[in-house]
Every structure is written in structure tokens, then in C-alpha cells.
Amino acid sequence: MPIIAFYTFGILNQPYGHPQVQEFYDKIDAVFSQAKESEGLIEINSELAGREAALPRFYDREKDPEAPSTLSCWKDLESVFAFAYKGLHGAALRKRHEWFRKGDWPTYVAWWISDDHIPTAKEAVHRLEHLHDNGSTPFAFNFKKPFDAYGNPVQPDAVKIKRNIQKNECGSHLP
């Protein structure tokens, strides 16, 4: 059964330890803890941060500060949507302009994978760059123009998103 791979990428305005980005670092553990309890999360990798990770061509290793990134897998589009825009992550997302550079590159990408595939950081970077170069396609897409596992344009199910938000808020993951 297909699942969603989801990669996020950003370039901080300032390096680690600078007061302008300290709040971002202060929230990381709580956001990841909430992600791990979120409806539909299969796996999340928070170890993709820093200069040693596979990073998109938008990042200049010589000049740019840190570039945090995450790679996660979700059972469906609605699950990742519900987590991304609500709860602690949603609140942090609203402050992103205080912490991250605004660039002409996408800050996230989604794509479908088989449930036995483990996506790599290199694959995620390739998908993000593809989204930047080609716009949203079945190969690499965003929430504005998502696709189903068969490559068809799709609209996320608003009722399912709302249900997932409610489950996330009360910590219940019952069907």
C-alpha cells in the first residue's frame, strides 16, 4: 500500500546559538514529540540537519548558516497535512519568517512510495529540486497541487483532516 514521503528544508537566518533562531531550537524536541504521537505518522528522521546532510543546490555550504531538514513517512496526505498546519508545528510554522530565509525554492515536497521503501535524504533532495524546477507533478508535489498514488490530481479530504486534527489534539489514535 502506498504511503507519503515528506521532506522539509529551510535555511536559517542565523547560525545555531544566535538569539534570533534560539526559539526555533527550543521548540524542536516538543514538535518532534508531538509528531511521533500524531495520527498517521509511520516514521520521522530528525537527523538530517546541518552541513553534513545531503542538501539541495539552494544551500551554499560556505556562506549559509544551518539548514534544518526532516524526512518523514505518513499513511496518507491528510495525516501529514493535519500535523503540518495545526498543533505545535502549525504554531511554529507561523513564525518561520522570523527564523528562516525566504527563498525562491520550495520548503517541502511530498511523493508517494511503496510501504516497503525507505526514502533517503539524497532522494528527498532530488524530489525537492524536481518540484522547484518543474512545479507540482506526480513525481514531487506540494499541498497546493497534490496527487494521489496513481498520479491523479486530488484534493485532500477535509473531513479526514479535521478528524486527524481532533485525534492529534486529544492524543487519541483510535479508528
- Total tally of structural domains belonging to the chain: 1
Residue 134 lies in a domain: yes
User: What is the amino acid identity at position 48?
Assistant: L
Element (H, E) at 69: strand 69-74
Residue 24 lies in a domain: yes
Residue 34 lies in a domain: yes
The domain that holds 56 is classified in CATH as: 3.30.70.100
The tens digit of pLDDT for each residue in 56-105 reads 999 988 899 888 999 999 999 999 999 999 999 999 999 999 999 998 99
| C-beta pairs of 115-118 under 8 Å, 24+ apart in sequence | 115/1, 115/2, 115/3
Residue 101 lies in a domain: yes
In DSSP terms, 8 is beta-bridged to 70, 108
3-state secondary structure at position 123: helix
In the predicted model, is pLDDT for residue 48 greater than 70? no
Cα 51 to the chain's mean position, in Å? 18
CA distance 14 to 154: 37
Domain that holds residue 43: 2-170
Residue 175 lies in a domain: no
Least confident of 6-15, 46-55, 130-139, 157-166: 46-55
Compute the C-alpha angle 47/80/108, nearest 5°. 60
Residue 158 lies in a domain: yes
Cell numbers 497534490 label which residue? 146
Cell numbers that stand for 110 in this block: 511530498
Cell numbers that stand for 143 in this block: 499541498
Q: State residue 51's pLDDT score.
A: 47
